[in-house]
Amino acid sequence: MATEEQPRQPPLSGPLAPRGTSQAGSARFAAPANAPGAGGLERLYDKPSPVPTAPRRGTPHAPAPPPPKPRRRFVLFGRRGRADGLTEDRERELMALCRVHLPRVRRIAVLSRKGGIGKTTTALLLGHQLATLRGDHVVALDANPDAGSLGDRIPRETHGTITDILRQAGSLRSYGDVRGLTSRATSGLEVVASDNDPRITEALGWSDLQRVMNVLSRHYGIVIADTGTGILDPATQGVLAAADQIVVCAAPSIDSSRVTALTLDWLDQNGHRALVENAVVAINGVQDGIGDVDLLQHYFERRVRSVVRIPFDRHLAQGGETDLEELAPLTRGSYLTLAGMVASGFSW
């Protein structure tokens, strides 16, 4: 479906401008000057907040301390003695959010325009966490047109793929019919794999993904779609048209997070502002001393509903099949927080 062409914007400048990017290339995803948060990442990076200095001895009047930053609605609490970084009260609160009753299906798209920053892992672990805590059926769909790897991250029980669901859509009348085409992890999460032949998955269009999402929506309480990196791909566009919420992945580096910011800009400009306002940003692979994560979190908090930091974890770095029980305690606590933040938007 054709959309109205957006006015071309000047390329980004300053330390966040991409090296070697033409003006046309950067303008394609650049935000207008009045877009929410537009240019904020650059300004924050160019002008870091001043650090207050202690008054010298003998100073008659000490300088006033900076005003405290307002708290967000949801904050990750910590307490000594718990390796997962959560208090018992906070853990109960997050679990209650994840278990909330759903009057209708919720469809969640996991997005990233940059590969290698944990998009598939985010979709998988979010699904594991929700499936573990909920009593209804939760499914993760590999909607990556470039032969995605989601189906390889749990033990395979079937050779069924997204193209099988599309081919048999008219005869999949019960949950049992669909279950014969999915693989189920020990957490209870079910996965619909992509086809191993990228020539097949690349041919899937907007209406194909709409039809698959509709089939799954009749039999599952939560559908999580792991999209490709091409936000303009017809398959991704079909997922976005059906999505109730989005999770956008970022990395703890300025360059990678700049791509995430441009993704939010594009969504804002192309009819998905409500999805951005209710979005959760997952900053993946956070390590002490690497990247200015505070700066990135401050920027994204101005644009989306919630931001969650996911620490680097050796088990996730290995790739392959992933199990919640194999994660470090702090990582498990972070994914519980992510699931709770997503679930807190179910009422939007």
pLDDT of 27 strictly over 80: no
Question: What is the assigned CATH class of domain 103-343?
Answer: alpha beta
What is the domain partition of the chain in residue ranges? 103-343
Least Cα distance to 212 among 232, 197, 230, 234 occurs for 234
200-229 mean pLDDT = 92
Pairwise pLDDT comparison (266 vs 83), residue with the higher score: 266
Least Cα distance to 154 among 200, 123, 198, 113 occurs for 123
* DSSP sequence for 138-157: EEEEEE-TTT-SGGGGS---
According to the model, what pLDDT value does residue 12 have? 38
According to the model, what pLDDT value does residue 199 have? 74
| Distance, CA of 111 to chain centre | 6
The 10s digit of each residue's pLDDT in 230-254 is 999 999 999 999 999 999 999 999 8
> Residue 42: how many CB atoms within 10 A of its CB?
19
Least Cα distance to 223 among 213, 231, 232, 233 occurs for 213
According to the model, what pLDDT value does residue 14 have? 39
CA distance 216 to 172: 10
What type of residue sits at position 38?
A: A
What type of residue sits at position 13?
A: S
Angle at 122 between CA 133 and CA 315, to 5 degrees: 90
The 10s digit of each residue's pLDDT in 86-140 is 999 999 999 999 999 999 999 999 999 988 899 999 999 999 999 999 999 999 9
According to the model, what pLDDT value does residue 299 have? 96
* pLDDT above 70 coverage of the chain, percent: 76
pLDDT of 57 strictly over 60: no
Which residues touch 305 (CB under 8 Å, ≥6 apart)? 73, 277, 278, 279, 280, 341, 344, 345
Residue ranges of the alpha helices (H) in the chain?
23-29, 40-46, 88-98, 119-133, 162-167, 175-179, 198-201, 206-217, 234-242, 254-269, 273-277, 293-301, 314-317, 329-343
Q: Which token pair is 348?
A: 């939007």
CA distance 110 to 130: 15
The reply to whether the predicted model has a pTM over 0.85 is no
Output phi, psi for 337, to 5 deg.
-65, -45
pLDDT of 47 strictly over 70: no
Q: Is the dihedral of CA 178, 179, 181, 183 positive or negative?
A: positive
Which residues touch 49 (CB under 8 Å, ≥6 apart)? none
* pLDDT above 90 coverage of the chain, percent: 62
Output phi, psi for 195, to 5 deg.
-75, 140
303-317 mean pLDDT = 94
Residues 96 and 230: beta-carbon distance below 8 Å: no
CA dihedral 313, 315, 318, 321 (to 10 degrees): -130
Residue 120 has what DSSP assignment?
Answer: H
Q: Which token pair is 157?
A: 């029980």
Q: Edge to edge, what strands does the sheet with 190-192 contain?
A: 183-184, 190-192, 138-143, 222-227, 106-111, 245-250, 280-286, 306-311
